């Protein structure tokens, strides 16, 4: 069988940031749950008790914040390019979002052509960084509570909780849609591999981007 | 309501000797604080993870004279404590005498009690990674002893007993001194739903650094009553939708053809 042509969809930097973020998110989630509710008492020994969980929560919080900040300073055009990409909304995006629920349950729909990131991913591109931003800010306030006014500290707790809950909620969708949802396998393995996808898959799922980048002549 | 016990702080009898502070340190075996002189006689500027009670000094110039107001600060042992409500580990409880106590083993050091407390009392101890506060010397009172601070008080400014009796005593004291201190009042009867530590104040609470009407913030209520019990279910919901989609997409059989794209190599 002839090897099919492959195109690059995600850069090495994007993949590294994505997976460091994933590891941090889950570590922070589970160490945080120890603090969030007595329901997760059984998790305490995993992290070496509540103190161990607190320590790991802070350690991974630093990595969680430092990696994107480093990326932002080292290669600002990468972040802003992504944001610009995600900010491009037209009728195709709105149509995609309206038809998406049908696609999700498995009905046959003809999705309008999408850019490199589809409308749902564009929404996620804003949603997640926003959630992370507020988690980070409220986390710093709680960590250094003595340095902040009390009213701000008391707001930080609900904000932190609200944001990780919304973030994890979105994460459930993101994890499923990016792996086991029909047709997602290609980008899933791209994220674990060299960032390339089959050209035919790219053309099917991200038509606009494929045509703009690799030409219509293919 | 069950009979609860606490103590009365009669600020008009307090001479600011801080014997209570030292006794508290001694009984709880807490290290001394290293502090710097900042132009006030108050030794420790604020409660810390190692200091469960302080006397705060408030100086005012009144009628050409310096007036000192001394206020003992520690956990107020609320009848309806906000810290107990917000603690995610249920590490805070009320004893049968009404003292609000913490279980050090259950505490995970999240410090939410500190943010919720209307009196801003619990403090974080970095070394132990736990929150700390006064326990009303539960281990002493259970043996019929007085709380360490009360026992140390030389002027009778601190008096331990049943809250009802102390409240009556406080009211009587206020009526006795109202001639000399027209703004005298009882603090702790109604504040934050009532506290087991009661005060006879000679002047407005604000002069002692107390809030007139301390309240538990609305964001705390929002967190406790809405976000915490209901929002985590959203995660379960999206998880369930994903699982549903996993099966429905396969059952409806849109399948690979519709999603993989036709081969460009044809």
Dist CA B218 CA A75 (whole Å): 42
Residues near B133 by Cβ (< 8 Å), separated by ≥ 6? B52, B74, B75, B83, B100, B102, B113, B121, B122, B123
Nearest CB neighbour to B108, from listed A5, A35, A145: A35
Phi-psi region of B30 (alpha: psi -120 to 50; beta: other; left: phi over 0): beta
Judging contacts by C-beta atoms under 8 Å, the chain A residues touching residue B88 are 35-38
Closest CA to A120 of A151, A153, A93, A82: A93
Q: What is the pLDDT along chain A (218 residues), one digit of tens a residue?
A: 566 788 787 888 888 888 999 999 999 999 999 888 888 888 888 998 888 898 999 999 999 999 999 988 998 988 898 888 888 888 888 888 888 888 888 777 788 888 788 888 889 889 999 999 999 999 999 999 888 988 898 889 999 999 999 999 999 888 888 888 877 777 788 888 888 887 777 777 887 787 877 776 54
Exposure string over A120-150, b if 16+ CB within 10 A, otherwise e: bbbbbbeebeebbebbbebbebbbebeeeee
Dist CA B195 CA B208 (whole Å): 17
Q: For residue B254, what pLDDT is reported?
A: 60
Max alpha carbon distance in chain B (Å)? 103
B1 pLDDT more than 80? no
- Spatial contact of A131 and B197, defined as CB atoms under 8 Å apart: no
Residue owning tokens 């986390």: A139
Q: What value of ipTM does the predicted structure carry?
A: 0.81
Phi-psi region of B190 (alpha: psi -120 to 50; beta: other; left: phi over 0): alpha
- What average pLDDT is seen over chain B? 90
* Strand ranges for chain B from DSSP E: 5-10, 54-62, 65-73, 92-94, 100-102, 123-125, 130-132, 158-162, 185-187, 197-201
**Closest alpha carbon within chain A to B110:** A35
φ/ψ (deg, to 5) at B58: -125, 120
Q: Do A182 and B249 touch (CB under 8 A)?
A: yes
Judging contacts by C-beta atoms under 8 Å, the chain A residues touching residue B222 are 158
Judging contacts by C-beta atoms under 8 Å, the chain A residues touching residue B244 are 105
Nearest CA distance, A183 vs chain B (angstrom) = 5
B266 pLDDT more than 50? no
- Spatial contact of A160 and A178, defined as CB atoms under 8 Å apart: no
Helix (H) or strand (E) segment spanning residue A176: helix A150-177
Closest CA to A30 of A58, A53, A61: A53
Dist CA A174 CA A166 (whole Å): 12
Helix (H) or strand (E) segment spanning residue A6: strand A6-8
* Strand ranges for A35-142 from DSSP E: none
Nearest CB neighbour to A158, from listed B89, B219, B243: B219
**Quick check: pTM over 0.80?**
yes
Dist CA B5 CA B14 (whole Å): 21
pLDDT grade, residue B265 (50/70/90)? very low
Q: Do B261 and A205 touch (CB under 8 A)?
A: yes
Q: How many CB pairs under 8 A join A and B?
A: 144
Query: Which three-class secondary structure state does DSSP give residue A172?
Result: helix
Distance, CA of A186 to chain centre: 17
Judging contacts by C-beta atoms under 8 Å, the chain A residues touching residue B107 are 50
φ/ψ (deg, to 5) at B65: -125, 150
Q: What is the pLDDT of residues B103-141, one digit of tens each?
A: 998 898 888 899 889 999 999 998 898 999 999 999 999
Q: For residue B255, what pLDDT is reported?
A: 53
Nearest CA distance, B222 vs chain A (angstrom) = 8
Q: Do A38 and B88 touch (CB under 8 A)?
A: yes
Dist CA B140 CA A81 (whole Å): 66
Q: Do A154 and B232 touch (CB under 8 A)?
A: no
Q: For residue A218, what pLDDT is reported?
A: 45
Q: Do B116 and A154 touch (CB under 8 A)?
A: yes
Q: What is the pLDDT of residues B61-100, one digit of tens each?
A: 888 888 889 999 999 999 999 999 889 888 999 999 999 9
pLDDT, average across residues B239-243: 89
Q: Do B227 and A142 touch (CB under 8 A)?
A: no
């Amino acid at each position: 069988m002839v090897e099919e042509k492959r195109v690059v969809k995600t850069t090495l930097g994007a993949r590294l940031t994505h997976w460091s973020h994933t590891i941090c998110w889950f570590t922070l989630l589970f160490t945080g749950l120890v603090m969030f509710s007595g329901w997760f008492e059984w998790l305490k020994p995993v992290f070496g008790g509540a103190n161990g969980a607190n320590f790991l929560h802070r350690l991974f919080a630093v990595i969680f914040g430092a990696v994107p900040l480093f990326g932002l300073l080292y290669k600002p055009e990468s972040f802003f390019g992504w944001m610009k990409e995600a900010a491009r909304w037209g009728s195709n995006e709105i149509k995609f979002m309206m038809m998406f629920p049908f696609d999700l349950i498995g009905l046959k729909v003809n999705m309008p052509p999408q850019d490199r990131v589809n409308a749902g991913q564009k929404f996620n591109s804003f949603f997640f960084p926003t959630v992370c931003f507020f988690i980070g800010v409220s986390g710093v306030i709680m960590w250094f509570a003595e340095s902040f006014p009390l009213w701000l500290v008391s707001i930080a707790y609900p904000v932190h909780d609200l944001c990780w809950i919304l973030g994890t909620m979105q994460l459930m969708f993101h994890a499923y849609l990016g792996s086991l949802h029909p047709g997602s396998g290609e980008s899933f393995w791209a994220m674990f591999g060299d960032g390339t996808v089959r050209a035919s898959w790219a053309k099917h799922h991200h038509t606009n981007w494929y045509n703009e980048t690799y030409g219509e002549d293919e | 309501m069950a009979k609860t016990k606490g103590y009365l702080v009669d600020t008009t009898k307090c001479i600011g000797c801080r014997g209570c502070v030292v006794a508290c340190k001694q009984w709880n075996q807490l290290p001394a604080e290293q502090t710097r002189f900042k132009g006030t006689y108050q030794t420790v500027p604020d409660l810390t993870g190692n200091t469960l009670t302080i006397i705060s000094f408030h100086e005012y110039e009144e009628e050409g004279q310096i007036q000192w107001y001394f206020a003992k600060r520690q956990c107020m042992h609320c009848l309806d404590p906000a810290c107990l409500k917000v603690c995610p580990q249920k590490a805070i409880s009320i004893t049968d005498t009404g003292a609000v106590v913490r279980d050090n083993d259950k505490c995970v050091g999240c410090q939410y009690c500190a943010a919720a407390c209307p009196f801003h009392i619990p403090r974080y101890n970095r070394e132990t990674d736990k929150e700390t506060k006064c326990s009303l010397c539960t281990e002493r009172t259970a043996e019929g002893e007085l709380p360490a601070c009360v026992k140390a008080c030389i002027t009778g400014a601190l008096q331990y007993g049943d809250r009802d009796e102390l409240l009556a005593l406080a009211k009587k004291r206020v009526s006795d001194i109202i001639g000399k201190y027209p703004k005298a009042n009882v603090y702790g009867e109604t504040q934050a739903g009532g506290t087991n530590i009661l005060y006879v104040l000679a002047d407005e609470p604000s002069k002692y650094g107390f809030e007139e009407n301390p309240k538990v913030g609305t964001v705390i209520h929002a967190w406790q009553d809405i976000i915490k019990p209901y929002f985590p279910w959203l995660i379960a919901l999206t998880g369930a939708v994903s699982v549903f989609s996993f099966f429905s997409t396969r059952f409806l059989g849109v399948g690979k053809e519709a999603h993989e794209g036709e081969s460009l190599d044809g």
